[in-house]
Structure 1
Amino acid sequence: MLQETHPPKKLLDQLRDKIRLKHYSLATERQYTHWVKRFILFHGKRHPKDMGSVEVEDFLTHLAVQGQVSASTQNQALSALLFLYREVLEQDLPWLQEVVRAKRPARLPVVLTQTEVAAILERMQGMHGLMARLLYGTGMRLMEVVRLRVKDVDFERAEVLVRDGKGGKDRITMLPRKLAAPLQEHLAWRRRLFEDDAAKGMANFFLPDALERKYPNASTEWGWQYIFPSGSYSVDPRSGAERRHHMDEKLLQRAMKKAVLAADIAKPATPHTLRHSFATHLLQSGYDIRTIQELLGHADVATTMIYTHVLNQGGRGVLSPLDQL
């Protein structure tokens, strides 16, 4: 009996499979697929295995010159191509090491004063207001707040466990006392929504593959539910399952932008600006740089040191001779 043969998978499908095997996020999958597709189309649909450093550099140059993309965007495209050659085509070629990454300009982060933070938060109410206050009160990143689960908050110890942060690391940060009551009130509403979903058989939620294998019965448990849910059900693009996901982070970004405009603040403040402000204001209060490094989840204290530059008002805190006249 002849054995059934399956045609080899297309390159982009192989790329997606490898990304999922390594448990990269859906956003990374979309970005990498986008850049590999653009790379192939740019070179007339040639197969990447027939190309090398010259073609990669030509593509990156095109992005910088004709596309006028930022250094970070150019580096993202390079990361996608490096992943393709190393992980999918399994070509660890010498030229991969020689491709030069675009140098990102050194810029100080945008930081709000405490008065400005208060003005913005006063103009943010409901779920968006609670999330913005968590960003400023804990120093979490935008997606860390968006992906918070019920079991991650310990009210008795006033702690928040940040799971799978940048670099795949967990860490603990504080839960501001001012947010304990509002968050508990929100969770009471969230529990009712969970029970309504459970009655419809729609209480299951997304868990990464490793956790899904480790906790096979967790998919409908209250503790694993997202604290900040989407307003409707959606279809998971990977599994095809219909369920309630976490809130779209763009909704919080838009709410923050409206609040900044309403507060008449000229700074280009985003939800991530609240994290920068958290770190700077802790430094101003005299907290140790190492403590702040742990709260932020920075691997290197040099990353945290950027906030010491923000503290130096004017030219490194030096008093201008004009002010001494």
Structure 2
Amino acid sequence: MASFHAVEGPASLEGAQPPRLLDQVRARVRRLGLARRTEEAYVGWVRRFILANDKRHPADMGAAEIESFLTGLAVHGNVSASTQNQALSALLFLYKQVLGVELPWLDGISRARKPQRLPVVLTRAEVAALLGELAGTPWLMASLLYGSGLRLMECVRLRVKDVDFGQSELTVRQGKGGKDRRTMLPSTLIAPLQAQLDEARRIHQRDLDAGFGRVWLPDALARKYPRADAEWGWQYVFPASARSHDPRDGQERRHHLDESRLQRAVKQARLRAGLAKPATCHTLRHSFATHLLEDGYDLRTIQELLGHADVSTTQIYTHVLNRGGRGVVSPLDRG
């Protein structure tokens, strides 16, 4: 049996071996400008698909094998709906974008059902207690999650040029679904954020003096603006404490702060604050939306601030308003 690493297409007429399949997947992801995490996820699922089918080349398989693989994930692997959908997206990407094969609609897939759960939301007092247990950069980042409705990765990937102090707003680039949007910058965070930028500028200048100072840009932008990666405006607001080598091209750059640092800080702050709710970084975003609804802002406005493609996604927060029993007064309380 051929080894997995030897999974390749037929050799070219000149006799040179074509790129290995997983390298083709990586190259196509990068050419389309998709995120590095998407690349890692897609390559991982393609690898699992091949191994699950005795290392056969995907060009020799099709809808039947995909149906069997995805149904097995749902039935035997008991995976979540989002996990199964990610696997499906990876395989459709492989066939359409890499192999150039259009697959028929896969009606036979047994899809994992997505449970209908209400998001965890903190009260205003609980948010204050949580933030009160944080300090420094974790406090500022968590405050942006709650005060601006940012997702975790939107916060850590924030660039200097996307902070507008004059308009008191932040621009989120390439958010979920690849969409840009604007959201507010709370006035109480302007001074701390300016101090953070001062520190980031000092770090950037030290890197420049040492012959570095470049930051990662998406491939299309890097080609269009070949020198922009050293400009101040493209630097991360929350830079990492040390430079590292980019796994894609091996260049030494300063990346953004690792998101796990904020995740750990929020978890520890929750425990210190004695909060029973399983609050995470994303809980602060949920709380942002719910508290805006409590303040009387309309769903469409909140939808735009959150970057939801459909208002039906935003409507979930109408079910978690802090009104206790949907605003209904219990007969026990009427006496």
TM-score surpassing 0.5?
A: yes
Match of 1:320 in 2: 330
Residue 242 of structure 1 aligns with an amino acid whose one-letter code is E
1:138–1:173 Cα contact (<8 Å) kept = yes
For the residues of structure 1 that align with 2:148 and 2:326, how far apart are their CA atoms?
Answer: 28
Q: Find the partner of 1:183 among 193, 199, 202.
A: 193
For the residues of structure 1 that align with 2:244 and 2:34, how far apart are their CA atoms?
Answer: 20
Describe how 1:181-220 pairs up with structure 2 within 5 A: 181-220=191-230
2:63–2:103 Cα contact (<8 Å) kept = no
Superposed CA offset, 1:143-184 (max 9, x none): 111011111111111111111111222111111111111111
Q: Following TM superposition, by how much is the alpha carbon of 1:98 offset from its aligned partner in structure 2, in angstroms?
A: 5.3
1:163–1:169 Cα contact (<8 Å) kept = yes
Identity %: 64
Match of 1:103 in 2: 113
Runs of 5+ in structure 1 lacking a partner? none
Residue 213 of structure 1 aligns with an amino acid whose one-letter code is R
Describe how 1:80-159 pairs up with structure 2 within 5 A: 80-96=90-106, 99=109, 101-159=111-169
1:78–1:101 Cα contact (<8 Å) kept = no
Match of 2:244 in 1: 234
Q: Does 2:26 align with 1:16?
A: yes
Superposed CA offset, 1:94-136 (max 9, x none): 2446545433112111100011101110111111111001111
For the residues of structure 2 that align with 1:304 and 1:125, how far apart are their CA atoms?
Answer: 31
1:158–1:177 Cα contact (<8 Å) kept = yes
Residue aligned with 1:238, SS: coil
Relative to structure 2, which stretch is displaced further, 156-165 or 60-69?
Answer: 60-69
TM-score (norm 1): 0.94
For the residues of structure 2 that align with 1:168 and 1:88, how far apart are their CA atoms?
Answer: 21
Q: Following TM superposition, by how much is the alpha carbon of 1:188 offset from its aligned partner in structure 2, in angstroms?
A: 1.2
Q: Does 2:260 align with 1:250?
A: yes
For the residues of structure 1 that align with 2:97 and 2:125, how far apart are their CA atoms?
Answer: 49
Superposed CA offset, 1:180-210 (max 9, x none): 1111111111111111111001101101112
Aligned residues: 323
2:144–2:150 Cα contact (<8 Å) kept = yes
For the residues of structure 2 that align with 1:295 and 1:4, how far apart are their CA atoms?
Answer: 54
Match of 2:8 in 1: none
2:63–2:104 Cα contact (<8 Å) kept = no
Relative to structure 2, which stretch is displaced further, 50-59 or 85-94?
Answer: 50-59
2:162–2:172 Cα contact (<8 Å) kept = yes
Q: Does 2:61 align with 1:51?
A: yes
Q: Following TM superposition, by how much is the alpha carbon of 1:224 offset from its aligned partner in structure 2, in angstroms?
A: 0.9
Match of 2:301 in 1: 291
1:52–1:95 Cα contact (<8 Å) kept = no
Residue 207 of structure 1 aligns with an amino acid whose one-letter code is L
For the residues of structure 2 that align with 1:96 and 1:166, how far apart are their CA atoms?
Answer: 25
Cα root mean square deviation, aligned: 1.7
1:203–1:244 Cα contact (<8 Å) kept = yes
Residue 281 of structure 1 aligns with an amino acid whose one-letter code is H
Runs of 5+ in structure 2 lacking a partner? 1-12
Residue aligned with 2:255, SS: strand
For the residues of structure 2 that align with 1:179 and 1:78, how far apart are their CA atoms?
Answer: 41
For the residues of structure 1 that align with 2:190 and 2:204, how far apart are their CA atoms?
Answer: 20
Residue aligned with 2:287, SS: helix
For the residues of structure 1 that align with 2:217 and 2:274, how far apart are their CA atoms?
Answer: 41
Q: Following TM superposition, by how much is the alpha carbon of 1:53 offset from its aligned partner in structure 2, in angstroms?
A: 2.9
For the residues of structure 1 that align with 2:108 and 2:224, how far apart are their CA atoms?
Answer: 41
1:53–1:99 Cα contact (<8 Å) kept = no
TM-score (norm 2): 0.91
